[in-house]
Amino acid sequence: MKRQLILVALVSAGVLGASGEALAQRRAGYRAGGAAVGPGGGMAAGRSAGAARSGPFGAAAGGARSGTVVTPGGSTVQYGAAGRAASGPLGGTRAGGVRGAKVTTPSGQTYSRASRGGAAVGPGGGVAAGGRSAAATSGPFGAAAGARRGGAVVRP
């Protein structure tokens, strides 16, 4: 009984093992981070990460970063961004990203801004792109906000 179980396990491992497509794939990545304190009392901390993959059906890559900075005067700045891109086997490519920041003063006033955008190129050369952005601020005398967006399409 044990011999049959071992034989079945070995055969299954050979059948379900790595295929030719899996062996052709490649990947890479990184992560980094750190923190610092300045002589005047300011502080900064942040991190970043990214990865890339490629295979017989295309390739893709992406990355992100974020952090916080506190100024010696007490203002806080928080930021972040992420992006990615992918390419298919027929030559089509897509890329996009987002980013944002927020500033807070010691008196409680805030300013925030965020945006995103992307583009795609087809195998035949057609292009489509677009983006959005928004911002807001608040303080002791009120608040305000605004937004914009746009896009374009080009065919060969």
Whole-model pTM: value is 0.72
| Rg of the chain in Å (alpha carbons) | 24
The per-residue b/e assignment along 78-98, b for 16 or more CB within 10 angstroms, e otherwise, is: ebbbbbbbbbeeeeebbbbbb
Q: What is the pLDDT of residues 90-109, one digit of tens each?
A: 889 999 999 999 999 999 89
Element holding 140 (H helix, E strand): none
In the prediction, which pLDDT does 24 show? 56
pLDDT mean over 128-152: 94
Q: What is the pLDDT of residues 33-88, one digit of tens each?
A: 999 988 888 899 999 999 999 888 889 999 999 999 999 989 999 999 999 999 98
Euclidean distance between CA atoms 154 and 156, whole angstroms = 7
Euclidean distance between CA atoms 91 and 60, whole angstroms = 13
Euclidean distance between CA atoms 139 and 29, whole angstroms = 42
**Tokens read off for 8:** 């079945």
In the prediction, which pLDDT does 49 show? 94
The DSSP code for 22 is H
In the prediction, which pLDDT does 26 show? 78
Mean of the per-residue pLDDT values for the chain?
Answer: 86
Each domain of the chain, given as residue ranges in start order, spans 61-156
Question: Which pLDDT band, with edges at 50, 70 and 90, does 15 fall under?
Answer: very low
Helices then strands, counting H and E runs in the chain, come out as 2, 8
In the prediction, which pLDDT does 9 show? 58
